[in-house]
């Protein structure tokens, strides 16, 4: 199987820091999953290859700045609920800002709720504007390949998540930024610090192709035969017969 290449680029003043670089997401497998045991006698989700692939497929972006978040608190100017972001001194007075990098600045606005009127995210975000995490990395894929950007699958931060999207990263000439939704279902109000280096975006490159769907009737005998085979040992049957392991590095 041919190995494709994805490139993450940022000005040397940033990338040379070697901090919080993009990585294969397989390096971010949660501890709870690693601690699980699995056997035929005592099966757990650790034996489920489809679940494992959600934790190992693609690449990971980490937050480039430390952000102090005050969510769903009154705006001093309007009195209406709002979301305030303060940057830590770590980057606030940092030399990086002198180089006009793609990073968040004080007073930077996100997206008003009017842009997604009727979307359930408005309720989750408690009807306050959506803030946006600015990403310093430009992402480039081979011709014909796009990237799916989504919260880390089965390993999402419980305080916030990005709004998923797809970008033709073989053609798009600049960085992709990420509006986020605060988990107001769990935190109606929230004062928290999102530390620099917090995992927040999973990137899955894929080849762009057109598809046409078809709905057909299957053979009942063949279906019963397949179900019987799966019932004997679904985990090992899938892994040995159906699964093609991919390399992410």
pLDDT at 14: 74
Is residue 198 within 8 Å of residue 157, measured between CB atoms?
A: yes
Strand order in the sheet with 59-62: 23-24, 59-62, 199-207, 145-150, 165-167
- DSSP states along 30-53: -HHHHH----SSS--GGG-HHHHH
CA 47/CA 37 separation, integer angstroms: 9
Averaged pLDDT, 194-200: 94
CA dist., res. 83 & res. 179, Å (int): 13
More confident residue, 127 or 223: 127
pLDDT of 118 over the 70 cut: yes
Query: Is pLDDT above 80 for 94?
Result: no
**Paired sense of beta strands 178-182 and 132-133, if any:** antiparallel
- Within the chain, residue ranges assigned H as helices are 12-15, 31-35, 49-56, 89-92, 121-124, 220-237
Residue 160: how many other CB atoms lie within 10 Å: 25
- Name which residue leads in pLDDT, 181 or 49: 181
pLDDT of residue 91: 55
Whether the per-residue pLDDT at 175 is higher than 60: the answer is yes
- Which has the higher per-residue pLDDT, 36 or 243? 36
pLDDT reported for residue 16 = 72
Among candidates 104, 26, 15, 31, which has minimal Cα distance to 68?
104
Q: Is 246 helix (H, G, I), strand (E, B) or coil?
A: coil
pLDDT, averaged across the chain? 87
φ and ψ at 27, to 5 degrees?
-85, 0
pLDDT range class, residue 87, cuts 50, 70, 90: confident
DSSP code at position 88: -
Confidence check: pLDDT of 28 > 90: yes
Q: Give the pLDDT of residue 95.
A: 55
For the segment 58-70, what is each residue's pLDDT rounded down to a tens digit? Answer: 999 999 888 889 8
On the question of pLDDT at 6 being above 90, the answer is: yes
Among the residue ranges 48-62, 99-113, 176-190, 205-219, the one predicted with the least confidence is: 99-113
More confident site: 11 or 235: 11
User: 233 in helix, strand or coil?
Assistant: helix
| Percent of the chain residues past pLDDT 90, beyond the cut | 55
Min mean pLDDT across 15-24, 100-109, 230-239 is at: 230-239
pLDDT in tens, 141-156: 999 999 999 999 999 9
Q: Mean pLDDT throughout 223-245?
A: 69
Spatial contact of 21 and 59, defined as CB atoms under 8 Å apart: no
């Amino acid at each position: 199987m041919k190995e494709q290449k994805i490139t993450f680029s940022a000005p040397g003043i940033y990338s040379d820091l070697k901090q919080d670089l993009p990585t294969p997401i397989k390096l971010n497998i949660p501890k709870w999953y690693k601690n699980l045991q699995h056997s035929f006698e005592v099966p757990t989700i650790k034996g489920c290859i489809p679940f494992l692939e959600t934790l190992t497929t693609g690449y990971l972006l980490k937050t480039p700045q430390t952000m102090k978040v005050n969510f769903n608190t009154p705006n001093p100017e309007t009195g209406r609920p709002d979301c305030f972001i303060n940057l830590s001194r770590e980057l606030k007075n940092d030399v990086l800002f002198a180089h006009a990098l793609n990073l968040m600045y004080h007073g930077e606005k996100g997206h008003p709720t009017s842009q997604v009127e009727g979307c359930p995210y408005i309720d989750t975000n408690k009807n306050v504007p959506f803030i946006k995490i600015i990403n310093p990395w430009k992402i480039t894929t081979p011709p014909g390949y796009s990237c799916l950007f989504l919260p880390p699958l089965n390993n999402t931060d419980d305080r916030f998540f990005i709004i998923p999207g797809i970008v033709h990263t073989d053609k798009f000439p600049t960085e992709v930024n990420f509006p986020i939704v605060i988990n107001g279902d769990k935190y109606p109000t929230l004062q928290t610090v999102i530390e620099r280096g917090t995992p927040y975006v999973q990137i899955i490159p894929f080849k762009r192709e057109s598809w046409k769907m078809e709905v057909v009737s299957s053979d009942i005998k063949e279906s019963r035969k397949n179900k019987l085979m799966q019932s004997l040992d679904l985990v090992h049957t899938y892994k040995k017969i159906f699964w093609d392991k991919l390399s992410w590095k």
